[in-house]
Amino acid sequence: MSDPTEPSHEPEAELERRLRKLLGEDEGEGAVVGEAPAPAPESAAAEPVDPLGDIDTHLKQIGERLDKSRRDHSMPPPPDWDYQRPTTARDPKADPHNYRGLGIGITAGYTLIGAMIAGWLVGWLFDLKSHGLEGQAFGALGGCIVGIFVVLLMIKRGNS
């Protein structure tokens, strides 16, 4: 068995016959399956032959068949369909361009974080004066409680 990576040593006529068979072209009259075609006459070999000429004509034929197929097979017309989207119940007070809720949410987040940091700073200052360590924890906890209380008041005021 030959190695497929080595170059083929088959004659040119055999390679051309196999290519024509793959392309589906006729080998001509009198050709016997499994038998190599008769060699070309000497006069044909003397004329310059364009090796891409046959491929170009074959590709043009394929393109023409494709264009004909596209012209002949158009899409069918769409069906008659009267589809009505269901309407959604909207709150008449809701305005899609009102960003008040977004503003309240961002303010609530900043309030929670700011109150916690402010409580921690007060605890840190207390620890500097008393030389202790518990002031920061109690300050941060107190800041969280104050922040939650302020956010609840803000939400209550926004809903009324």
Residue 123 and residue 140 in contact, taking contact as beta carbons nearer than 8 Å:
yes
pLDDT of the residue at 29: 45
Q: What is the pTM of this model?
A: 0.39
Cα–Cα distance between 136 and 130 in angstroms, integer? Answer: 12
What is the model's pLDDT at position 80?
83
| Per-residue CA distances from 40 to 19, 29, 43, 46, 143 (Å) | 16, 14, 8, 11, 100
Write down the pLDDT at residue 24: 74
CA–CA dist 119, 135 (Å, integer): 9
- Rounded Cα distance between 8 and 127, Å, is 89
Condensed to tens digits (0 to 9), the pLDDT of residues 13-23 reads: 888 888 888 78
Name the residue type at position 10: E
Structure tokens at 1: 């068995």
The predicted-structure confidence for 123-146, as pLDDT tens digits, reads as follows: 999 998 988 888 888 999 999 999
Q: What is the pLDDT along the chain (160 residues), one digit of tens a residue?
A: 555 566 656 678 888 888 888 787 765 544 445 555 555 555 545 566 666 678 888 888 898 988 888 877 777 777 788 888 777 777 666 666 777 778 888 999 999 999 999 999 999 999 989 888 888 889 999 999 999 999 999 888 877 7
User: Tell me, what amino acid is at 19?
Assistant: L
* Cα–Cα distance for residue pair 73/126, rounded to 1 Å: 85
What's the one-letter identity of residue 121?
Answer: L
Scanning the structure block, which residue is given the tokens 């012209």?
71
Listing DSSP states for 44-82 in one string gives HHHS---TTHHHHHHHHHHHHHHHHHHHH-PPPPPPP--
Pairwise CA distance, residues 102 & 100, whole Å: 5
